[in-house]
Amino acid sequence: MADRFDQHAVRHRMKLLRDTGETTLYENRDDVACPACGDPFDRVLLTERDAHSFDLDGGTLCVTREEGRLVVSMHR
């Protein structure tokens, strides 16, 4: 597995939902694997911000810390 989650390599398998420059949110369209647990995620948030708040409704949140960013994978 690559050291960093490479969103560009799997870009065609995900739908871009939001891009603010600092944070990017994708929806999984093709069972892209979560970098933390290996299971397909529903959405993934790539962020360079230091802090985030999330509303959880019974799903699982996986967090992978990388150099300069966080990769947050959401599973339903």
- When asked if residue 73 is in the footprint of Zn ion (CB under 5 A), the reply is yes
Closest CA to 23 of 54, 49, 5, 42: 49
Instruction: Give the Cα separation of 24 and 37 in Å (integer).
Output: 20
Which stretches does DSSP call E strand in the chain?
A: 14-19, 23-28, 43-47, 60-66, 69-75
- When asked if residue 70 is in the footprint of Zn ion (CB under 5 A), the reply is no
Output 21 or 31, the one with its CB closest to Zn ion: 31
- Of the candidates 9, 37, 61, 63, which one interacts with Zn ion according to CB under 5 A? 37
Site for Zn ion in 4-33 (CB under 5 A): none
Using CB under 5 A, list all residues that contact Zn ion.
34, 36-37, 62, 73
